[in-house]
Amino acid sequence: MDVVRTVEQLRETIREHRPKGGIVGLVPTMGFLHEGHASLIRAAHARCDVVVVSVFVNPTQFNDSADLAAYPRDESHDVAVAAAAGATVVFAPEVTDVYPKGFCTTVHIDGPITDTLEGTSRGPQHFFGVATVVAKLFGMVGPDVAFFGQKDAQQCVVVRRLTRDLDLPVEIVTCPTVREPDGLAMSSRNVRLSADDRRSALALVRGLEAAATCVRRGQRSAATVVAAASQVMADHGVEPEYIAVLDPDTFAALTEVDRRAVVAVAARVGPVRLIDNIVIDPDR
Ligand code: PAF
């Protein structure tokens, strides 16, 4: 498996490995790869002839320079995980190559997709940074299919909107959240949790499970579902930054869980801000 740093090397590598009419898949990541990323790479490997894994800690999507500085990095581990999961090439560019001197284009996506929930706590700039780097990666790689994790549900909605609005010729595939055996959603940030924090972090998934149980038992009021989840989180000593019931395609808030919905949650546990979500279908 190749590791390349420049767009020229990347395009050359794709040309070498792509059979005529072959499909190119992209798995965009910020590195420190875990089983969640490996599952995306395996999904890409199953579908595509060439699998590009980008490893780039994108500074423009961080609203907090301390968070950016603390973001874990381990490129040799990333290369090993990507190779084992079936990547053809790891693309790990420098910040100055992605944002060279004079760079001044930003993709803005207006409205509730970017200014609520993650967009409120991290600022809409966060999603402008995501949208800009994803649009750039699509331009650099030219993928036919790109794979994203459901764990970042709002990001998935933003990327789908971006792709539709700009007519980008890329199919977006969303893969299920990968969890630890006790249910904690995998995240590169989990390594910063102490043993106590690690236990408290289960508040998020237990809260979401309580929300799902509530709906399964016939509850349709979003406020009641949210209250049930909040109570379970409080029992774990964790206060949510938000818990919301949302339309999975637009991220508009729902007052009734009368159709498929996403319940999304964010909370600070120790030094780390965690997010998680589940999709609930009241008709199933
Ligand atoms: O989900 C991530 O790791 C990042 O937001 C992404 C999509 C790689 C863009 O930097």
Closest atom of ligand 1 relative to the 130 alpha carbon: 9
Mean pLDDT of 233-257: 96
What's the rounded mean pLDDT across residues 95-118? 94
pLDDT of residue 105: 98
Continuous H helices in 71-200: 75-85, 95-98, 112-115, 118-121, 125-141, 153-165, 195-200
Are the CB atoms for 48 and 24 separated by under 8 Å? Answer: yes
- Strand duo 171-175 + 145-149: pairing: parallel
Distance in Å, CA 189 to ligand 1 centroid: 13
* Three-state DSSP state, 278: strand
The 10s digit of each residue's pLDDT in 56-75 is 999 999 999 998 999 999 99
CA 29 to ligand 1 center in whole angstroms = 5
Q: How far is the CA of 58 from the centre of ligand 1 (A)?
A: 8
Do the beta carbons of residue 2 and residue 13 sit within 8 Å? yes
Nearest-angstrom CA–CA distance, 135 and 82: 22
CA 197 to each of CA 36, 152, 193, 252: distance values in angstroms, whole numbers, following the listed order: 21, 21, 5, 31
**C-alpha gyration radius of the chain:** 19
Question: For the chain, how are helix, strand and coil distributed in percent, rounded to 5?
Answer: 45, 20, 35
DSSP per-residue letters across 166-208: TT---EEEEEPPPB-TTSPBP-GGGGG--HHHHHHTHHHHHHH
> Given the CA of residue 159, which atom of ligand 1 is nearest to it?
7
The finding on whether 152 has its CB within 6 A of some atom of ligand 1 is yes
Catalytic residue among 37, 45, 77, 126: 37
Tell whether ligand 1 has an atom less than 6 A from the beta carbon of residue 187.
Answer: no
pLDDT-derived band at 35 (thresholds 50, 70, 90) equals very high
H or E stretch at 232: helix 222-235
pLDDT band at 164 (very low <50, low <70, confident <90, very high): very high
81-to-85, 86, 108, 145, 192 alpha-carbon distances in Å: 6, 9, 33, 20, 20
Respond yes or no: is residue 236 known to be catalytic.
no
Asked if residue 134 has its Cβ within 6 Å of ligand 1, the reply is yes
Q: Could you give the CA distance from residue 139 to residue 188 in angstroms, rounded to a whole number?
A: 26
Q: Is 130 in the pocket of ligand 1 (CB under 6 A)?
A: yes
Q: What is the pLDDT of residues 271-283, one digit of tens each?
A: 999 999 999 999 9
Model pLDDT for residues 125-146, shown as the tens digit of each residue: 999 999 999 999 999 999 999 9
Average pLDDT over residues 152-172: 97
Contact 30, 56 (CB under 8 A): yes
68: left (phi over 0), alpha (psi -120 to 50) or beta: alpha
* 187, pLDDT greater than 90: yes
What spacing in Å lies between the alpha carbon of 112 and ligand 1's midpoint?
A: 20
Mutation choice for ligand 1 from 134, 137, 277, CB with most ligand atoms inside 8 A:
134
Task: Give the model's confidence band at 111: pLDDT under 50 very low, under 70 low, under 90 confident, else very high.
Answer: confident
Atom of ligand 1 nearest to the CA of 134: 9
Q: 172 with 134: CB under 8 angstroms?
A: no
% of the chain with per-residue pLDDT over 90: 95
Mean pLDDT, to the nearest integer, of 88-106? 98
**Cα(106) to centroid of ligand 1, in Å?**
16
- The mean of the pLDDT values for the chain is 97
Ligand 1 pocket, 133 CB below 6 A? yes
Q: What is the residue with the minimal CA distance to atom 2 of ligand 1?
A: 29
In short, whether 58's Cβ falls inside 6 Å of ligand 1 is yes
